[in-house]
Structure 1
């Protein structure tokens, strides 16, 4: 694990200070919150003498790629239950799935309808009948062990910040951040999915009330991007030399910058943004953008 870097962001306003925690630099293949979420799950799997990890994800899942890599590095067999049976014939065209397969992950492709039942006991029992015993890691990696890892994102030196902002996928990362935040801080979550259902998921793990979800920056829902967001990502890189992924962190950063323009934050606020990684997914998103003849994410100066 590399030393964590915190960079200051270039702003037009001198009344607000914004820094970004470069969790994306933790590890070249297991970046950001995926490193945090898998850390204690691997320890638990070893403690239970399990030799197989089974988890869930979609076509561009950072979690699938990370689980495949750490499984290979730590001597585990890995099984990925992939949403969308149409993807089975397209592995070679999908950088994320191709990488996971090269790491030795075995795929089980299921229909989107069946995937909705991934937490049902009957669904899991069928998987055990097919694959034998395994250590189950939920979609996105979120469970109590993942949250324990995400509690380590903030340190005592971060008490100087008034706001801590992160994107929200399954709710695990923000739950860990809320649990380790300081009483004077406000934690803002920016869901990458439509709707406010994640509030209940987060409340399953936290008791603190110093947090809020900002629901206006999902850009149409999970995995949805548009030319405005792509232009923002490219411009942000030109100004700060920090790559953002379009599925998660870019939406949060876009939202924070927009809220600064709208005077959401009090003067002299100190804001910490959490970069949760996910850069590996850009190659797949660019393929989709090219197919639609839309601008792509380009980190060339």
Structure 2
């Protein structure tokens, strides 16, 4: 699998710069590459032949594991939330892509999916599929944090604020650990609720961070006309695509905070573009069904 992370930060305006992690790889992009890097190395070291992981219908993580597994010679298994999706693989761009990469998909109920971290549930999967290397939902574990700590480079020391979107909390934990004392790490959750703080604290070593919880747009996978218009306008102005689940909400939040005077004058803000662009097609399918404006 050929990847590169040698991309310069992009100047958006006099205060905001963007780190284009989405350019690392067309399918294993952004934080998914960072999270998988050392997990895949460990799977190889343990001589594992199969990767098993978890995700929802439009999961960036599922798509990334499927692509990485295909390129590196692993058999991959995706445990997918929602039994009703069994007959909808071809209609779902993420599942269709994962399937085309050779990923074996197993659909389970939402109730059973809640058991995904329990030992008995994992043992049942072992009995069904044999030996495998298990990667948690979203990819977040100690090895994933190690990979995410490599996002920030020496050239990024000049920034006062480091911003990223949050799903499971692994990426921001790595950024927190790698940030310098003078840098503030801001996380923009894509989900409602305060549970993420506890998840982040499992891995984060420093205290120079905070969650900005006002830009989830009513929850995970939710959008509105204002957000879609912002994403399309951003693409038109800067030729940079944003996904509607994560980076679109983060960038909307950053611009709104600037207007509200949140950032001190002359401070420099670095926004981490964590990828997730494969999710645009699925979101557009939903928007089209609702007769709403699409992401261009």
Give TM class, smaller chain. Answer: over 0.9
Candidates 162, 166, 169, aligned match of 2:167: 169
Secondary structure, aligned partner of 1:59: coil
Candidates 14, 38, 44, aligned match of 1:46: 44
Distance in structure 2 (CA, Å) of the matches to 1:216 and 1:187: 16
The unaligned stretches of length 5 or more in structure 1 are none
Equivalent residue for 1:8?
A: 11
Measured after TM superposition, the shift of residue 207 of structure 1 is 2.1
Equivalent residue for 1:103?
A: 101
Equivalent residue for 1:64?
A: 62
Matched, 1:26 2:24: yes
Equivalent residue for 1:277?
A: 275
Secondary structure, aligned partner of 1:247: coil
Post-superposition CA distance 1:281-301 (Å, at most 9, x none): 101110010001011001xxx
RMSD (Å) for aligned C-alpha atoms: 0.8
Post-superposition CA distance 1:183-232 (Å, at most 9, x none): 10000000000011111111111120000001111011111111111011
The unaligned stretches of length 5 or more in structure 2 are none
Equivalent pairs, count? 293
Measured after TM superposition, the shift of residue 5 of structure 1 is 3.1
TM-score, scaled to structure 1: 0.96
Matched, 1:180 2:178: yes
Measured after TM superposition, the shift of residue 122 of structure 1 is 1.3
TM-score, scaled to structure 2: 0.98
Equivalent residue for 2:131?
A: 133
Measured after TM superposition, the shift of residue 129 of structure 1 is 0.8
For residues 117-156 of structure 1, the aligned pairs below 5 Å read 117-156=115-154
For residues 217-236 of structure 1, the aligned pairs below 5 Å read 217-236=215-234
Distance in structure 1 (CA, Å) of the matches to 2:37 and 2:205: 23
Matched, 1:196 2:199: no
Distance in structure 1 (CA, Å) of the matches to 2:184 and 2:9: 19
For residues 213-252 of structure 1, the aligned pairs below 5 Å read 213-252=211-250
Distance in structure 2 (CA, Å) of the matches to 1:131 and 1:224: 34
Distance in structure 2 (CA, Å) of the matches to 1:202 and 1:149: 15
**Runs of at least 4 residues off by over 3 Å:** none
Measured after TM superposition, the shift of residue 140 of structure 1 is 0.4
Distance in structure 2 (CA, Å) of the matches to 1:208 and 1:234: 36
Distance in structure 2 (CA, Å) of the matches to 1:86 and 1:4: 41
Equivalent residue for 1:114?
A: 112
